[in-house]
Amino acid sequence: MQYKKLGDTNLNVSLIGLGTMTWGQQNNIEEACEQMDYAVSKGINFFDVAEMYPVPPTAKTQGSTESCIGEWFNRTGKRSDIVLATKVAGRADQGPDMKHLRGGPRLSRDHIRRAIEGSLERLQTDYVDLYQVHWPERGTNYFGQRGYSHNPAADGIAIDETLDALSELVDEGLVKHVGVSNETPWGVMEYLRLAKERGMARVVSIQNVYNLLSRQFETGLAEMAIRESAGLLAYSPLAFGVLSGKYIGGKKPVGSRMDLFTRFSRYDSAQSTAATEAYKAVADKHGYSLTEMSLAFVCQQSFVTSCLIGATTMEQLKENISAFELRLADDVIAEINAIHNQYPDPAP
């Protein structure tokens, strides 16, 4: 397994990180523990979770994913072997409907304090290595929103209050480092500016969507990630499983995410379908599975710190982890970029 520095910290994280959002919904605790056991045996030391998981978020299941990890720590005693990341949920009326979570989560000092206390209890630990803001408080571009409509009235809790609250957690040792997720270039720069000017905790990572169907991170944020030592933790590298190829031809395998839930429509446009088919042709030509090629592409980007994979079966997990060993040749990258030019970012 290859490892990279998490920002400017002394932590080395595996190039493949273990995503967890199906645990407690599509996967039970025993399946989750089996995944963690296997991932660690393959050199993965980075687990990523969130207080709102599993997805889709519901009052009944909220926190179950963190509880799965906490139980694994309890069984194995391997907390110190893992770089653990979790997230505090953002404003409920801007993100998913989560009134069940603190009456509607916010990024205020009080909410952040209650959120970390709940996460630590479920995770059965007294600290997390990376605590991330799951999405912005303000109204801006995230979760696939195109275009931008400026509305200062929708800004809500200011970033300086959020970062000040996170910095308090760092000072107390409850959190080692902080990061952001689903952020824009302006948002990242504002966190960095405040950290520098006011001596607050510095953002060390950006967890945003990045895959062959959604490469917007390359514009603006990629340079930010490199120059500011705040690398990308790439989530959804297989585009909700679309880039496994299993949905080609309108198929919806029984038990798959698209079969079970109707809310995942981000990658179902005609352009996304056409691009996926074109990428599969390239993978077939070079003897790769579409999954392998898609994940290898993400792992090769210089601005990526870790590629966060998620799986519901051990077969999927094993294929995903093996992809980091693949190095795509220049001619394969050229063919991928040609398709990207034909179908530029078909998914937001």
Q: Which of these, 86, 88, 81, lies nearest to 14 by C-alpha position?
A: 81
Average pLDDT over residues 73-91: 97
Residue 266 pLDDT: 75
Residue showing tokens 């579409």: 290
Catalytic residue list contains 267:
no
Average pLDDT over residues 111-127: 98
Average pLDDT over residues 32-43: 98
Residue 1 pLDDT: 94
Average pLDDT over the chain, rounded to an integer = 94
pLDDT in tens, 236-292: 999 989 999 987 876 666 655 554 555 556 788 899 999 999 999 999 999 999 999
Q: Is the pLDDT of residue 94 over 60?
A: no
Domains and their CATH numbers in the chain: 3-342 (3.20.20.100)
φ, ψ for residue 249, nearest 5 deg: 80, 15
Model confidence at 114, pLDDT cuts 50, 70, 90, reads very high
Higher-pLDDT residue of 227 and 145 is 227
- In contact, 26 and 15? CB cutoff 8 Å: no
Contacts 24+ apart (CB under 8 A), 261-267: 261/56, 263/56, 264/240, 266/144, 266/239, 266/240, 266/347, 266/348, 267/213, 267/239, 267/240, 267/242, 267/347
Look at 178-182, 199-203, 299-303, 320-324 and tell me which has the smallest mean pLDDT: 320-324
Look at 34-48, 193-207, 242-256, 289-303 and tell me which has the smallest mean pLDDT: 242-256
Q: Is the pLDDT of residue 75 over 70?
A: yes
Q: Is the pLDDT of residue 4 over 80?
A: yes
Residue 243 pLDDT: 96
Average pLDDT over residues 6-14: 98
Residue 251 pLDDT: 62
Instruction: Cis check for the bond before 54: say yes or no (omega within 30 of 0).
Output: yes
Average pLDDT over residues 170-191: 98
Residue 262 pLDDT: 58
Q: Catalytic one among 3, 38, 53, 131?
A: 53
pTM tops 0.75, yes or no: yes
Alpha-carbon span 177 to 87, nearest angstrom: 12
